[in-house]
Amino acid sequence: MISIWLFMGPPGCGKGTQASLIKSQYTDIYHLSTGDLLRSEIKANSVFGQRVKSFVEIGKLVPDELVLDIFSRTVSNFPSGSSVILDGFPRTLNQAESLSLQCSTNSFNLAGALWFNISSKVIVQRAVSRRVCVDCGEIYNTESKVPKILWNCDKCGGKVLHRKDDTEEIVSDRLLTYSKDTEPLKKFYSHKDLLFEIDAQEDTLLVQAQILRLLKKM
């Protein structure tokens, strides 16, 4: 049995940062970010990467069949007994329904959807100052988390860059996509009694404390 926790919310709400913080403290917890998976395919210039590149770079959702394909291929690699944080998946009703189906056919336990609530204004500010390691995905910030050697990753030495889809214009567009396609999933998980809300506007450590409290209850 694999336990699945969904980290959900608008782009830039801090779910990736929180997932990697939690993963670094618990060896049996895995972090699966569909955004990271897609970016690594693009970086490798694989056939799959070439198909998804144009969507990712302008902040549009990758078509469901492609995301479901990469998700199914990856999730089956996790060992039984582990817990997996899904970051950035599902993002559409079709993906959520497909995940529910995969849970019942593969005996995954969908433990809950943690929803990161945050205002759009803060999101745009955060995205504009966010920097990401192109090699390991570690997240930095020009204001609050600058690497020791500018701009090389503290963890792996990789280049730390501003993501092409983190500009003000593209983030505003991604927020519209989020309201239209992803926010309705809040109701979907609430009806299943699986919704747990988080105030993601707080400081990183306070957000982490809220998450750990919830995970212990699940």
Among 56, 110, 124, 198, binds ligand AMP (CB under 6 A): 56
How many residues lie near ligand AMP (CB under 6 A)?
Answer: 18
Q: Which is nearer to ligand AMP, 71 or 196 (CB)?
A: 71
Kindly indicate which of the ranges 58-66, 111-119, 188-196, 197-205 contains the residues binding ligand AMP, using the contact rule CB under 6 A. Answer: 58-66
Nearest to 174 by CA among 86, 90, 58, 64: 58
Q: Does 38 bind ligand AMP (CB under 6 A)?
A: yes
Choose between 1 and 207: whose C-beta lies nearer to ligand AMP.
Answer: 207
Q: Is 61 in the site for ligand AMP (CB under 6 A)?
A: yes
- Residue 113 near ligand AMP by CB under 6 A: no
Catalytic residue among 130, 131, 187, 217: 130
Residues in contact with ligand AMP, shown as a per-residue x/- string from 145 to 184 under the rule CB under 6 A:
--------------------x--------x----------
140 binds ligand AMP (CB under 6 A): no
Strands 2-8 and 108-117: parallel
Among the listed residues 23, 31, 91, 131, the single contact to ligand AMP using CB under 6 A: 91
3-state SS, 83-133, equals EEEEECCCCCHHHHHHHHHHHHHHCEEEEEEEEEECCHHHHHHHHHHEEEE
Is 55 among the residues that bind ligand AMP (CB under 6 A)? Answer: yes
Cα separation, 127 vs 112, whole angstroms: 26
Nearer to ligand AMP, 80 or 103 (CB): 103
Q: Is 174 considered catalytic here? A: yes
Q: Is 163 marked active-site?
A: yes
The amino acid that residue 209 corresponds to is A
Give the three-state DSSP class for 209.
helix
Own/partner pairs, 158-165, CB within 8 angstroms, 24+ separation: 158/133, 158/134, 159/133, 159/134, 159/135, 160/131, 160/132, 160/133, 160/134, 161/131, 161/132, 161/134, 162/130, 162/131, 162/132, 163/130, 163/132, 164/57, 165/56, 165/57, 165/58, 165/59
**What residues are labeled active site?**
15, 91, 130, 163, 174
Tell me which residues touch ligand AMP (CB under 6 A). Answer: 11, 34-35, 38, 55-56, 59-62, 67, 88-91, 95, 165, 174
